[in-house]
Structure 1
């Protein structure tokens, strides 16, 4: 079958539009009698019990992936005579259950707000295993972080040095801190996701590092443990990490003259596949390459290899989650291509969620895939665009994919790779409640984040009077 001329060049017409690519779906996902099953539970059971939309997380996948990332990084650095610290980046998706899974897998946790700190503490995570990020932490957040014994605060500006020092002195504590710097390396990624070039809100320039570290070291209540840099997100190769590490190590070496610098934090950003076109590097290859570069750089500089910290989030939980929607309406639209005026049909399939549960397509132009989840079909593939129900023309969940041509209202549609940055970016736009998050494992399912009802939304409105007539 020829591709639809409206489809992006990278999108290939599938031989079977029912096929589930292993790279995009949780590890326990299969089709049983045509229906998608995850963790031994069918999507039909999940939709009937929890409604749609619903975020589904494969607990076993998350736990296994966390251990794999941990083992890959720690083993790689053990081979070069050092060690690695792995922090789960909570901003990808954080709940009390997920925080517990990470702690049980031996990971530390990175938080970047008072709310994320509260979740980690409620999960019983040892505060010493937490890192606290943020470009504008409030004084109250800093004081709380110091008081509970957060393992490391990442200082993001010169003013913050004094704020953290004041909090530590006021509580008679010594607070371990990192300094976030910009290496000048801009990983090849979406402009909104790039966070290490100079003209951005995070960190300070490498040229200002020596003075900033001297100021940190002038405070008895601050313990400087190393530099931090994050070069971007959704990075598929190791070249950006290698170049950033080389630049950071040069400054790291100079700082050793003024005192110990036991650690170096290279951030996160390891990419994952959202479509069959994506080809991210395996974590083992990334870990080995980065460890080799760091070791070689240290050898050249004549310094010991520091403990190297990383902050993966998406690469741990992204592929472990997917979203189930119910199809509502379908609409065939005749469209002429811009280049040659060829006319073709694009089928719009509307679902009962949208940009309120997945803002990434609207924010970043992110691509996703979709499959009919409650049945299989031998109908010829048709190009579809999955649209949300919000009053926005940009409310698109999946820009382009092929589904069986008989896709119809009432079908359950599953969009994979929504474990990261979907629930965490969710909103109540158009007064939709945020969907529940359900964990599945060993034939059982349970809610780990409760969905919101209209009553929940109204309860926050100060003008609401319970029992008032409509």
Structure 2
């Protein structure tokens, strides 16, 4: 397993993250356990900011909280001075509860409800990323009702297909997200927003996909957005003050992955903008919204190994105390991961095994065919790069409680999300009176 950030193997032969021994973390907090390297998160954020500062262009870096959203994470984003991208009332509520400045929050999503829009308007967020005509109508109506003016940028589907998994492509013409560029919907929406009495159109947004390594698609997307901006300026006098190029920058999950450093992606986007917008009176402010590339490599999930099943001549299955309830990505789109035995990290690999989750699904497999030392019941398995879309997709399938989350740095571990209990699982369950036992009915009458 490749060691990211502050991860290292200590003198005891244990995996250590943020100066904390993972064996000790497992003893204190139990498993499965999400371990988050706070120093690496801050480092990635600063790398994006420094890269933009070198360009001399006006910019904003926003953190896409859908990758990993907790109150503690919102505090880090605030301290580092980034914007915060939210996509639901839950993410917005989390940010506001963490006292994140509303004026640095912007709201994404292809199906914002009236209640979500009202919550955001009342909070005074920075802007909305409008996704469709229905949303524009709701924004205008609700802003008018409240006597406010809602700032918006339009999400555009630029017709650019990034080379990534089909489930995480978002910029192609046939996408559920955004106004289509090819058909003219984007220009139509721009005029509508520009003329609306209680909307302030500030620019455009596009996002071409996730886990992208090639940079040509970003350059092409900038050119297409510049073309739209040119038409809107010449025909309607609309100035593109903000150009949000989304995120999607890839990270290293396994040896075959070849991500570029943050500076590389920033340079490509910035250079494309200076070329494509050279004929404008001024360059737009460039926004990006990395999520995975900020938190992905900072996460490690720790499991305890339980049962082992060997199919002679075929495969050896090693089961852990988690699976698709804490990491849905392998089942969802065949995501790949690396791992090691955290308590025996210096030992040489001696066998090939496949890591199975504990859910009652044949598809609950975390890793196929990985080389490890001979596995024993009770060993600790550490899976790397689980910081993005693991906790945020965690679920209670088979009524399995969701894991705890700890932030680690400088040898100190802080619990930021408590482990769910069995009582938590049933806390919202209700038994109607017709299903209650007779003894319960008598007790309720008394």
Range into which the TM-score falls when normalised by the shorter chain: over 0.9
Does 1:110 find its partner at 2:110?
A: no
**How do 1:59-208 and structure 2 match up within 5 A?**
59-76=38-55, 78=56, 82-206=57-181, 207-208=184-185
Partner secondary structure for residue 248 of structure 2 = coil
Partner secondary structure for residue 168 of structure 1 = helix
Q: Deviations over 1:62-119 (max 9, x none)?
A: 112111122223433x1xxx21111100000010110110111111000000010001
Supply the distance in 1 between the matched residues of 2:360 and 2:153 (Cα, whole angstroms): 44
Distance apart, 1:174 and its partner CA: 1.2
Please tell me whether the aligned partners of residues 228 and 265 of structure 1 are also in contact (alpha carbons under 8 angstroms).
yes
Partner secondary structure for residue 32 of structure 1 = coil
Return the TM-score normalized by structure 1.
Answer: 0.89
Supply the distance in 2 between the matched residues of 1:250 and 1:460 (Cα, whole angstroms): 51
Supply the distance in 2 between the matched residues of 1:376 and 1:266 (Cα, whole angstroms): 40
Distance apart, 1:379 and its partner CA: 4.9
Q: Deviations over 1:111-163 (max 9, x none)?
A: 00001000111111111111101111000111111111110101111111110
**How do 1:46-445 and structure 2 match up within 5 A?**
46-76=25-55, 78=56, 82-206=57-181, 207-257=184-234, 258-299=237-278, 301-334=279-312, 344-376=313-345, 378-404=347-373, 406-445=374-413
Distance apart, 1:233 and its partner CA: 0.3
Higher helix share: 2
Please tell me whether the aligned partners of residues 314 and 420 of structure 1 are also in contact (alpha carbons under 8 angstroms).
yes
- Hey, what does 1:339 align to over in structure 2? none
Supply the distance in 1 between the matched residues of 2:348 and 2:239 (Cα, whole angstroms): 66
Larger displacement relative to structure 2 (385-394 or 27-36): 27-36
> Judging changes above 3 Å, is the alpha-carbon distance between structure 1 residues 126 and 138 closer, same or farther for their aligned structure 2 residues?
same
- Structure 1 gap ranges (5+): 1-19, 335-343
Partner secondary structure for residue 268 of structure 1 = coil
Please tell me whether the aligned partners of residues 327 and 390 of structure 2 are also in contact (alpha carbons under 8 angstroms).
yes
Partner secondary structure for residue 265 of structure 2 = helix
Supply the distance in 2 between the matched residues of 1:28 and 1:387 (Cα, whole angstroms): 24
Q: Deviations over 1:263-307 (max 9, x none)?
A: 1111110000101221111111111122111111122x4553211
Supply the distance in 1 between the matched residues of 2:427 and 2:349 (Cα, whole angstroms): 48
Q: Deviations over 1:305-337 (max 9, x none)?
A: 211111100000000010000000122224xxx
Distance apart, 1:247 and its partner CA: 0.6
Partner secondary structure for residue 10 of structure 2 = strand
Larger displacement relative to structure 2 (55-64 or 407-416): 55-64
Please tell me whether the aligned partners of residues 6 and 19 of structure 2 are also in contact (alpha carbons under 8 angstroms).
no
Supply the distance in 2 between the matched residues of 1:380 and 1:44 (Cα, whole angstroms): 19
After TM superposition, where is structure 1 displaced by more than 6 Å over at least 4 residues in a row?
none
Number of matched residues? 431
- Structure 2 gap ranges (5+): 441-446
> Judging changes above 3 Å, is the alpha-carbon distance between structure 1 residues 378 and 215 closer, same or farther for their aligned structure 2 residues?
closer
> Judging changes above 3 Å, is the alpha-carbon distance between structure 1 residues 260 and 377 closer, same or farther for their aligned structure 2 residues?
closer
Q: What's the RMSD between the two structures over aligned residues?
A: 1.7
